[in-house]
Structure 1
Amino acid sequence: MATTVPDSALVQRAKEGDQQAFGDLVDRYKDPSLSLAVSILKDTALAQDVLQDAFMRVYHSIGGFREEAAFSSWLYRIVVNTSYNALKSARYLKKTETLQPGQVYGSTQPKPMKEEDQQKYVQLALDRLSADEALVLRLFYLHELQIPEIAHITRFGKPKIKVCLHRGRKNMMKKLEQLVGKEVKDLL
């Protein structure tokens, strides 16, 4: 049975120049980090580019990581900052596909919803939320972080996080209803 090396040990080895340890950290956190970047940028290809930039920043600044917070929180903060900076940059601007109210993405016939379809519709709904709402929902529900941890990562105040959670849940339901209509019950 393989044991998982703690983040702190990998960070220490990466600080000492161990590229394999840094690679292990990247492998461990690339998927959740990509999810955060996509929630802000709304485009997987752009999020992958931004994630590369974020991991390069982490690589160059890991020596200054003081371990006052969890490595994941520090990393997610860099991913969030890099994503918001990219969002502001003209080279990352892109028009997104729009759906008419009640139009189901990629389907006109009601069918029993498969798990991969459920995931697709949840992702589409998240992509249609504001960047702040999508980010906070992902951190809270998908990464299972508490409000203080979200505040540390996003630098949002706790009241803003609570508002984003409340509005995000309401807006998520509206977006899901627009995407799948009455089948929204199958998603929940």
Structure 2
Amino acid sequence: MAGEVSALVARAQAGDAEAFGLLYDRHVDQLYRFLSSQVRDRQTAEDLTSETFLRALHNLSAFRPGGDFGTWLTAIARNLAGAHESHTVEFPVAEVHLQAEPASDPATTAVDRLAHAALIAGVDQLSAPQRQCIVLRYWRELSIDETAQAMGKTPKAIKGLQHKALNALRGLLPSGVVMPA
């Protein structure tokens, strides 16, 4: 998959509009979800998603072969969201979905959904950098290095930020809510 993305990036850098369209299709949903976690307004998230891809297209020559295109897009999006929102950003519960399949038992499904809502509400109370770290690490499933690149920090700083965020989250959640692993 990484090789396929690298080939698409190389084609797009050579001026192949169809290749850039395929890159857009591959990354737009994740990028929108990330931006939705940074700004509360759906229209703003859509606008910032479009702006991210526009900037990526205009600066495609700056992307280095061997880099992770999704992480590069996330860094652009993070910068745009940061420029747009100078105040504390809320985490939109409606934009984050359960990763696991619903249980066959309706009571278990209801408990799982309540726990999920409590987790999202807890994340919403974290500081903006902590929230961004948690979103990138657990919802976008980026590695420490990819998160560091996307946030413009060192991997060591991300490890510390993640540790502080998880500790803060533990104090915000009711007992019985499962924390991210």
TM-score, structure 1 as length reference: 0.70
After TM superposition, give the deviation of residue 60 of structure 1 in Å. Answer: 1.1
The residue aligned with 1:17 is 15
After TM superposition, give the deviation of residue 122 of structure 1 in Å. Answer: 3.6
- Larger gyration radius, structure 1 or structure 2: 1
Alignment of 1:117-156 (within 5 A): 118-156=115-153
C-alpha separation in 1, matches of 2:180 and 2:156 = 29
Write the deviation string for residues 48-87 of structure 1: whole angstroms up to 9, x where unpaired.
2211111110111113322241212211111111111111
C-alpha separation in 2, matches of 1:186 and 1:149 = 22
The residue aligned with 2:30 is 32
The residue aligned with 1:66 is 64
Q: 1:187 to 1:149 in 2, by over 3 A?
A: closer
SS of the residue corresponding to residue 67 of structure 1 reads coil
The one-letter code of the counterpart of 1:134 is R
The residue aligned with 2:85 is 87
Write the deviation string for residues 90-109 of structure 1: whole angstroms up to 9, x where unpaired.
xxx69969xxxxxxxxxxxx
Write the deviation string for residues 10-69 of structure 1: whole angstroms up to 9, x where unpaired.
112222332222121112112221232233324443222211111110111113322241
Write the deviation string for residues 143-185 of structure 1: whole angstroms up to 9, x where unpaired.
33322222222111334312221121123334443xxxx5635
The 8 Å contact of residues 39 and 89 in structure 2, kept in 1 or not, is answered as: no
Alignment of 1:100-115 (within 5 A): 112=108, 113=110
Structure 1 alignment gaps of length 5 or more: 98-110
Write the deviation string for residues 114-166 of structure 1: whole angstroms up to 9, x where unpaired.
65555544444333322211221122223333222222221113343122211
The residue aligned with 1:75 is 73
C-alpha separation in 2, matches of 1:127 and 1:46 = 18
SS of the residue corresponding to residue 11 of structure 2 reads helix
Number of aligned residue pairs: 165
C-alpha separation in 1, matches of 2:44 and 2:160 = 28
The 8 Å contact of residues 39 and 131 in structure 1, kept in 2 or not, is answered as: no
The one-letter code of the counterpart of 1:184 is V
Q: 1:184 to 1:59 in 2, by over 3 A?
A: same
CA RMSD of aligned residues (A): 3.2
The 8 Å contact of residues 125 and 172 in structure 1, kept in 2 or not, is answered as: yes
Q: 1:35 to 1:118 in 2, by over 3 A?
A: farther
Structure 2 alignment gaps of length 5 or more: 92-106
Identity of aligned residues (%): 27
The one-letter code of the counterpart of 1:130 is S
